[in-house]
Amino acid sequence: MQNLLHNLNPEQLAAVTLPSQHAMILAGAGSGKTRVLTTRIAWLIQTGQVSPAGILAVTFTNKAAKEMTSRLGAMLPINTRGMWIGTFHGLCNRFLRAHYRDAALPQSFQILDSGDQLSMIKRMLKALNVDDEKYPPRNLMYFINNAKEQGLRAQDVEAYDDYNRKFVELYDIYDQQCQREGVVDFAELLLRTYELLSRSQPLREHYQARFRHILVDEFQDTNDLQYKWLKLLAGQSNAVFAVGDDDQSIYAFRGANVGNMAAFEREFRVQNLIKLEQNYRSHGHILDAANTLIAHNTRRLGKNLRTDAGHGEPVRIFESSSDLQEAQWLIEEVKSLLNEGWMRSEIAVLYRSNAQSRVIEHALFTAGIPYRVYGGQRFFERAEIKHAIAYLQLMDNPHNDSAFLRVVNFPARGIGARSIEQLQDAARQHGMSLYAAVPHVSGKAGSSLGGFVRLVERMRFENQTMPLQEVVKAMLDASGLIAHYQTEKEGADRIENLEQLVSAAMLFVSEEGFGIDAPAFAGPKAQAVAGPALVDGEEVEVIDADAPLPTVMSPLSAFLSHASLEAGDNQAQAGQDALQLMTVHSAKGLEFDAVFITGLEEGLFPHENSTQEEGGLEEERRLMYVAITRARKRLYMSFSQTRMLHGQSRYNMRSRFFDELPDASLKWLSPRVQQHSWFAQRKTAWDDVPEAGVNAIAQSFTRKDAGWRIGESVAHAKFGEGVIVSIEGSGTNCRAHINFGKHGMKLLDLNIAKLERVAKA
């Protein structure tokens, strides 16, 4: 115990050792949040207040869940495997597997990822002859997920007009289709769990009695349904330990509701509120910048980070004339950092939107600096992997129509669009899955489809006793996937990925502890059957509160869940020491010695779309706050006068966030020059910029009219500061489009408008 609590600061110690009551921990960036959360769990267990089985710990990402589990395992000599530590979705999956009958799901129900969900919706719209111009699949998907995340079924959604009514109607049909196929989307995992717990008193009481301590990470990111779910599980007597940071709430656009923090405090009558404000990550100037910036937000719960680390270096700011030059400057700075011995992997380049990485990547590539971009395609989302998974899905649940359609003719086996149409008609007519409808198709189409069914049947039943990785291997052969990619010229990489899938299966089996001898199938009984609705009040399986849940999943089912819930790595070239490139969003939770925040311009960061939305600007500011607090020792911020966007140059003002930072913590690297002598002074100031770059810049700025220049900053009495975007006409008939940011784009006569030159920062 001494060990556990050793080295905690007073606030951390207080949080970890709080009594068994609801608590809210306001944990600032870099304040040791994960440490507090895991130590709290360890302390509760070690002091005998709760058994490992009585803990429910929820996170948003698999990464966070794994981190928590492994840290806990290092603190205590316990088996963490059976513990309920995981993501909302992962835990709900576990729950639904154990109670699939009560949840009215087939035992081998499968999980749709967002791509699967979208293609399912497209397929449905087509079958219903719905105009997908009028009802775009994406909008319908958004509508459905949104409703589910508020806990609403189709019949609960209020249709306020005809257009909306159609969405509701389609939502209902979509749910029926999912039910028929035995598949659930991400939101459904949560909603189904919530509904089952709501209506089944025995189940609810069982789990409420079991989870005495509920701990939630990143509470500011919870959506409405997740909050309701927590409330339900907490019941009257369990303690909820919520850790979050309202200043780092950056996911409102996907349904997160920061308001849940205040709601939690109020509705749970939280007596224990602890702020973790001691920052162990960043030097003083960096923290000052973060604190001063975020203070511009209203409606904060209130928090100020402090450090013992001293001021450190000021935040370096650079203004460039173009995005190309911004990248060029970045390269030079990175080079000198590397010369000083900084690690490449400890330097991050952040940007607001993915499109911005292009120019930077190009420059890094040319300079020969290894880099790694986060956010690419993930392993389980690759086409060849999706195909292989579809075969596995059919083996596990042949009524999954999405899986069926994906591979029925891949590799090509002469089953064309006409055969599929016939099959779909038959399926609709008999109200059954495509797979089940095959015997109802006659003729040539029927026999080729029959061949496919026999193939799947063979794969399903021949290998029942094989370990999972053998099943995967056999499937790759029998399906003809390997053979197909062998004939393709670019197929080598894909085959390599398919082989990696076998390794992934092997790794999964060893990590999840499925015995090597365990059959990959639970047997024919495990066939998908759209079960009857739950009989209310049905006796609940008795589960020993201390025993891990019975493994009701076959290894194959479990592996498929794993593939959907954990799409895998989404970073390229992992492993080697490389510069880290990512959006600010994906940087959340990470930290680096040196950080570059690039593209700090009005319209980009804050993003123009966000400035329209209610509360959008505050979210952008929080995003900026997240970006700043990623840096340990050195922080750079850069912005550019021009930037190529959608194929044309845009002239932006520097981000308003610069005006919200403390001058004392800033160091401007670029000279504060007078605009009229712009080129001459720039040239001398940027001697280290390659000649070609300077020439390109010069060319883009040679156009002058009535003494004004494109790209120049001006001030107007009414509209404030703006940038000249274009100039038309000349002499006495000369007008200019000027971007005044907040006030929008104005067309002004340069001979009439009273404009002043702005000496740029």
Partner DNA sequence: AAGGCCAGAGTTTTT
Partner DNA sequence: CTCTGGCCTT
List residues forming the annotated binding site for ATP: 27-34
Nearer to DNA, 616 or 729 (CB): 616
Nearer to DNA, 22 or 562 (CB): 562
Among 48, 646, 663, 732, binds DNA (CB under 7 A): 646
For the segment 194-213, give every residue that binds DNA (CB under 7 A): none
Q: Which string of b and e fits 20-30 if b means at least 16 CB within 10 Å?
A: eebbbbbbbbb
Residue 417 in contact with DNA, rule: CB under 7 A: yes
**Cα-based distances in Å from 258 to 62, 261, 273, 301, 612:** 21, 6, 16, 10, 19
Min dist. Cβ of residue 306 to DNA (A): 29
**Residue 731 DSSP class:** T
Among 343, 549, 644, 753, binds DNA (CB under 7 A): 644
Residue 63 in contact with DNA, rule: CB under 7 A: yes
Residue 611 in contact with DNA, rule: CB under 7 A: no
**CB under 7 A: which stretch of 85-93, 152-160, 464-472, 594-602 binds DNA?**
85-93
**Residue 93 DSSP class:** H
Among 46, 49, 51, 61, binds DNA (CB under 7 A): 61
Min dist. Cβ of residue 650 to DNA (A): 12
Residue 573 in contact with DNA, rule: CB under 7 A: no
Catalytic residue among 116, 217, 288, 333: 217
Min dist. Cβ of residue 586 to DNA (A): 4
Catalytic residue among 12, 33, 107, 333: 33
Among 73, 82, 235, 375, binds DNA (CB under 7 A): 375
Min dist. Cβ of residue 645 to DNA (A): 8
Q: Alpha-carbon Rg of the chain, whole angstroms?
A: 29
Residue 700 in contact with DNA, rule: CB under 7 A: no
630 given a catalytic annotation:
yes
Binding-site residues: 27-34
Q: How far apart are CA 174 and CA 122, in angstroms?
A: 10
746 given a catalytic annotation:
no
Nearer to DNA, 33 or 275 (CB): 33
Min dist. Cβ of residue 559 to DNA (A): 15
Task: Tally Cβ neighbours within 10 Å of residue 444.
Answer: 13
Rounded to 10 degrees, what is the CA torsion of 705, 710, 712, 717?
70
Residue 20 in contact with DNA, rule: CB under 7 A: no
For β-strands 713-716 and 755-757, DSSP reports them as: antiparallel
Give the angle 24-28-33 at the CA atoms, nearest 5°.
70
Q: Spell out the residues 6+ positions from residue 190 whose beta carbon is closer than 8 angstroms to its own.
A: 88, 89, 92, 148, 149, 225, 226, 229
Min dist. Cβ of residue 478 to DNA (A): 20
218 given a catalytic annotation:
yes
Among 80, 87, 422, 713, binds DNA (CB under 7 A): 87
Q: How far apart are CA 295 and CA 141, in angstroms?
A: 37
Query: Residue 658 in contact with residue 600, Cβ under 8 Å?
Result: yes
Residue 89 in contact with DNA, rule: CB under 7 A: yes
Helix (H, G, I), strand (E, B) or coil at 668: strand
Nearer to DNA, 62 or 297 (CB): 62
Q: Spell out the residues 6+ positions from residue 649 whose beta carbon is closer than 8 angstroms to its own.
A: 642, 643, 700
For the segment 577-606, give every residue that binds DNA (CB under 7 A): 582-583, 585-586
User: Which residues make beta-bridge pairs with 736?
Assistant: 727, 748
Q: How far apart are CA 682 and CA 670, in angstroms?
A: 9
Residue 34 in contact with DNA, rule: CB under 7 A: no
Residue 254 in contact with DNA, rule: CB under 7 A: yes
Min dist. Cβ of residue 398 to DNA (A): 22
Residue 610 in contact with DNA, rule: CB under 7 A: yes
Catalytic residue among 11, 113, 116, 218: 218
In 84-185, which ranges are continuous DSSP H helix? 88-98, 114-127, 137-149, 162-181
Which own/partner contact pairs does 699-707 have at CB distance under 8 Å and 24+ positions apart?
Answer: 700/321, 700/322, 700/642, 700/649, 701/321, 703/727, 705/729, 705/730, 705/734, 705/736, 705/750, 706/730, 706/731, 706/734, 706/750, 706/751
Nearer to DNA, 202 or 375 (CB): 375
**CB under 7 A: which stretch of 308-316, 516-524, 560-568, 654-662 binds DNA?**
560-568
Which of 124, 120, 104 has the alpha carbon at shortest distance from 182? 104
User: Which residues make beta-bridge pairs with 243?
Assistant: 25
Residue 285 in contact with DNA, rule: CB under 7 A: no
Structural tokens at position 712? 């120049």
Give the number of residues in contact with DNA, rule: CB under 7 A.
Answer: 43
Residue 62 in contact with DNA, rule: CB under 7 A: yes
Residue 566 in contact with DNA, rule: CB under 7 A: yes
Write the interaction track for DNA spanning residues 98-127; mark x where CB under 7 A is met and - where it is not: ---------------xx-------x-----
248 given a catalytic annotation:
yes
Nearer to DNA, 186 or 719 (CB): 186
For the segment 382-411, give every residue that binds DNA (CB under 7 A): 409
For β-strands 720-730 and 713-716, DSSP reports them as: antiparallel
Q: How far apart are CA 444 and CA 450, in angstroms?
A: 10
Tell whether the torsion through CA atoms of 466, 385, 501 and 70 is positive or negative.
Answer: negative
**Cα-based distances in Å from 597 to 5, 312, 315, 316, 323:** 36, 18, 11, 10, 13
Min dist. Cβ of residue 81 to DNA (A): 18
**CB under 7 A: which stretch of 391-399, 451-459, 475-483, 641-649 binds DNA?**
641-649
Nearer to DNA, 361 or 470 (CB): 361
Catalytic residue among 34, 464, 675, 681: 34
Structural tokens at position 760? 């740029």
Among 159, 209, 355, 747, binds DNA (CB under 7 A): 355
Nearer to DNA, 570 or 675 (CB): 570
Phi, psi of 133 (to 5 degrees): -80, -40
Query: Residue 682 in contact with residue 727, Cβ under 8 Å?
Result: no
Q: How far apart are CA 84 and CA 58, in angstroms?
A: 8
Catalytic residue among 87, 220, 248, 328: 248
Helix (H, G, I), strand (E, B) or coil at 712: coil
Among 9, 353, 551, 726, binds DNA (CB under 7 A): 353
Nearer to DNA, 279 or 419 (CB): 419
Residue 151 in contact with DNA, rule: CB under 7 A: no
Min dist. Cβ of residue 606 to DNA (A): 9
**CB under 7 A: which stretch of 251-259, 305-313, 497-505, 723-731 binds DNA?**
251-259
Which helix (DSSP H) or strand (DSSP E) does residue 641 occupy?
Answer: strand 631-645
Nearer to DNA, 198 or 570 (CB): 570
Min dist. Cβ of residue 523 to DNA (A): 28
Which of 603, 584, 600 has the alpha carbon at shortest distance from 592? 584
Among 253, 477, 510, 695, binds DNA (CB under 7 A): 253
Min dist. Cβ of residue 647 to DNA (A): 2
Among 416, 523, 537, 615, binds DNA (CB under 7 A): 416
User: Which residues make beta-bridge pairs with 85?
Assistant: 57
Catalytic residue among 372, 630, 656, 760: 630
Residue 735 in contact with DNA, rule: CB under 7 A: no
Query: Residue 406 in contact with residue 390, Cβ under 8 Å?
Result: yes
Catalytic residues: 33-34, 217-218, 248, 630
Residues lying near DNA in the complex (CB under 7 A) are found at: 60-63, 87-90, 113-114, 122, 186-187, 251, 253-254, 352-355, 358, 375, 409, 412, 414, 416-417, 565-567, 570, 582-583, 585-586, 607, 609-610, 613, 616, 644, 646-647
